[in-house]
Amino acid sequence: MARDLKEAFFRLDGAWASFELGSIRRRDDYLKPFRVLRCKIDDQVDFQSPGAPQSATEASVLIEVFGEQELVAASGRGPVHAVDNAMRKILEKHFPQLAEVKLEEFDVRLLPYEPPRFDDDNGAGALVRVLGIFSDGEDRWGTVGVAVDILQASLECIIDGLEWKLRGEQKH
């Protein structure tokens, strides 16, 4: 048990907003301001372009806000930026204060893991930890996403970063 707690803390180190959201989400009276239901990312890299390889990324996101589902697509400079842009297209209509929130730092790390076990479900079996530092011009907060998939971990980090700004605003 102590090892599990130590590993959980290591994954949350620097991401107190995610830690607190985990506690807040367990409360019976907490209503999530939004839910990401599905995300699809199309990322293409052209290695034959003159100069450096060129990337074109588009993400579509299905989000539930106030009981209604909305689907939107957006492009970006890579998959994380495209997903963030798509989410904001929907969320900033309902929560204008999210326009103030900026992702200032983004750190990706592989967590220590057992020797590689390659299989169809888990890839190499390594967990990816994504740490994001957000700011709204007044406050700064850190969030984390952990998954075997870097995009899933990134999305969890972004969701927590945006939800942190909205915590306590139960409008539905």
125 and 151 part of one domain: yes
Q: What is the pTM of this model?
A: 0.81
Q: Which residues, including other chains, have CB under 8 Å from residue 90's CB and lie 6 or more apart? A: 34, 61, 63, 65, 70, 72
- Domain holding 47, by residue range, is 34-94
pLDDT digit string (tens) for the chain, length 172 residues? 445 544 554 455 678 898 889 888 899 988 899 999 999 999 888 888 888 888 889 999 999 999 999 999 999 999 999 999 999 999 999 999 999 999 999 999 887 765 555 555 655 567 889 999 999 999 999 999 998 889 999 999 999 999 999 986 555 4
118 and 169 part of one domain: yes
CATH code of the domain containing 70: 3.30.160
Tokens 């790390």 belong to: 109
69 and 4 part of one domain: no
127 and 77 part of one domain: no
Structural domains of the chain, count: 2
123 and 71 part of one domain: no
